[in-house]
Amino acid sequence: DIRMTQSPSSLSASVGDRVTITCRASQNIYTSLNWYQHVPGKVPKLLIFAASSLRSGVPSRFSGSGSGTDFTLTITGLQPEDFATYYCQHDFIMPSSFGQGTKVEI
């Protein structure tokens, strides 16, 4: 079972800030890593797949990087609608698993 660990668990930021969230896998998952945004009361939204591929329709201020065991989600120029919880998830082998989440607060 592959464990996904995110850091930090929460962070405070302001509109316009650059925010970086880290995700570490317990073993090599190559680039089989997805990032989701979850706004309370809404449905989780896929932002990034295969570690660095931006899903169509997702603003370009979101970017992903990394391979192997260490990954990063970066939001460049935080917007009001970006305050949410972000999750990484591996898709390397089954069973899949999510990180514990990173809450981005004002």
Partner 1 sequence: QLHLQESGPGQVQPLETLSLTCTVSGDSMRSYHWGWIRQPPGKGLEWIGSIYYSGSAYYSLSLRSRLALSVDTSKSQFSLRLNSVTAADTAIYYCARGGQTAITQYAYWGQGIQVTVSS
Burial bucket for residue 18 (CB in 10 Å: 0-12, 13-18, 19+): exposed
Assess 91 for contact with partner 1 (CB under 8 A).
yes
CB of 16 to partner 1, least distance (A): 27
- For the chain, how long is the longest CA-to-CA vector? 38
Per CB under 8 A, the list member of 13, 17, 24, 38 interacting with partner 1 is 38
Assess 55 for contact with partner 1 (CB under 8 A).
yes
Q: Of 92, 46, 35, which Cα lies nearest the Cα of 69?
A: 92
Assess 85 for contact with partner 1 (CB under 8 A).
yes
CB of 54 to partner 1, least distance (A): 12
CB of 1 to partner 1, least distance (A): 5
